């Protein structure tokens, strides 16, 4: 049964585009690739280095914005009974109400993002670092990130060679990568998600791109701007992207492992990609391998 959705209604889009704080945020996101915004089912997630900075909902024709208290450097204390703080769209600005210690901070939250970025950097995990790096390098083909499903959380989905492809990111010394049975099961689970939702995935990402264009998150220079949807297919198999997260001799380490990983996972992958410093995933074809 297909039930995968990505969509925003026009009223939500129009309200965002008329909000001063949103216009400023879009400018920041478009100029700083550490940020990305992903469309959900009538809400959005705003990420900084793949930490979910804001969740933007549209409930009863009103915009509701929440953020985790730990990301705000001047929060007095964790709100009782919850981890998320509501932000209010007030006079074109995001207001934290009474949760903060400094009045100057709540007057214009977007103008204080640099302070929030420093706070987020304290919670910045290594896997999120490499996930963010993949997105930054491949902005023109990334359709989605942090996709929740009944088959597990998918790291990324991209449009490659007219195919919508899931991407699983693993660090080289993640124990799960070296358990061949479990790793192949995870890859097969992702394949089942893509197969089960094949038609709705295509429609969901058409909706996603339409919404991002309307919100000025994609411009005419992007490969995603003029997608010929009649020619788009959904890949049943995911890419396995393995990062050689070592401090030196990266290529030697890649050469040591590359044959093993390709043989182990080639039957359950669209492609196997192992990288050190370069995170370019734009040129894959079926059953390919790329080791940089």
Which DSSP string do the residues of 67-136 spell out, in sequence order?
Answer: EEGGG-TTB-SPPTT-SEEEEEEETTEEE-TTSBS-HHHHH-TGGGHHHHHHHHHTT--HHHHHHHHHHH
Q: What is the pLDDT of residues 121-135, one digit of tens each?
A: 876 667 788 888 889
Mean pLDDT on 150-163:
92
d(CA 136, CA 131): 9
Q: Return the closest-CA partner of residue 203 out of 3, 47, 23.
A: 3
Task: Give the burial class of 8: count Cβ atoms within 10 A of its Cβ; 0-12 exposed, 13-18 middle, 19 or more buried.
Answer: buried
Percent of the chain with pLDDT over 70: 82
Mean pLDDT (the chain, rounded)? 84
For the full predicted model, state whether its pTM sits above 0.75.
Answer: yes
Give the pairing type, strands 142-147 and 93-95. Answer: unpaired
Going through 127-162 in order, the beta strands assigned E by DSSP cover: 142-147, 154-160
Query: Can you give the pLDDT at residue 75?
Result: 56
Going through 220-270 in order, the beta strands assigned E by DSSP cover: 233-234, 239-243
155 touches 167 (CB < 8 A): yes
**pLDDT band at residue 92 using 50, 70 and 90 as cut-offs:** low
**Within 10 Å of residue 249's Cβ, how many Cβ atoms?**
12
Kindly tell me if the per-residue pLDDT of 17 is higher than 90. Answer: yes
Length of the chain: 292
- Most confident range (mean pLDDT) of 36-45, 46-55, 56-65, 90-99 is 36-45
Q: What is the pLDDT of residues 182-193, one digit of tens each?
A: 999 999 999 999
270 touches 284 (CB < 8 A): yes
Query: Can you give the pLDDT at residue 61?
Result: 86
Mean pLDDT on 215-234:
95
94 touches 109 (CB < 8 A): yes
Helix or strand run (H / E) with residue 129: helix 126-137
Kindly tell me if the per-residue pLDDT of 279 is higher than 70. Answer: no
């Amino acid at each position: 049964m297909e039930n995968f959705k990505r969509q925003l209604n026009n009223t939500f889009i129009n309200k965002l585009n008329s909000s001063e704080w949103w216009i400023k945020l879009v400018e920041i996101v478009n100029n700083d690739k550490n940020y990305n915004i992903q469309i959900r089912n009538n809400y959005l997630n705003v990420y900084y280095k793949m930490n979910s900075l804001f969740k933007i909902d549209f409930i009863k024709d009103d915009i509701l914005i929440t953020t985790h208290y730990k990301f705000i450097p001047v929060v007095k204390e964790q709100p009782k009974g919850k981890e998320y703080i509501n932000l209010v769209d007030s006079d074109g600005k995001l207001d934290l109400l009474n949760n903060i210690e400094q009045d100057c901070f709540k007057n214009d939250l977007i103008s204080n993002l640099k302070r929030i970025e420093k706070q987020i950097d304290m919670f910045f995990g290594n896997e999120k670092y490499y996930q963010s790096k993949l997105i930054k390098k491949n902005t023109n083909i990334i359709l989605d990130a942090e996709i929740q499903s009944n088959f597990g959380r998918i790291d990324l989905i991209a449009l490659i060679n007219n195919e919508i492809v899931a991407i699983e990111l693993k660090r080289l010394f993640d124990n799960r990568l070296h358990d061949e049975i479990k790793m192949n099961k995870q890859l097969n689970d992702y394949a089942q998600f893509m197969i089960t939702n094949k038609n709705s995935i295509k429609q969901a990402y058409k909706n996603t791109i339409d919404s991002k264009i309307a919100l000025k998150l994609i411009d005419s220079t992007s490969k995603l701007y003029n997608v010929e949807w009649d020619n788009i297919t959904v890949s049943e198999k995911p890419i396995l992207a393995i990062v050689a997260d070592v401090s030196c001799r990266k290529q030697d380490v890649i050469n040591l492992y590359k044959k093993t990983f390709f043989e182990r996972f080639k039957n359950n992958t669209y492609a196997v990609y192992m990288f050190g410093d370069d995170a370019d995933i734009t040129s894959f074809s079926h059953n390919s391998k790329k080791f940089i």
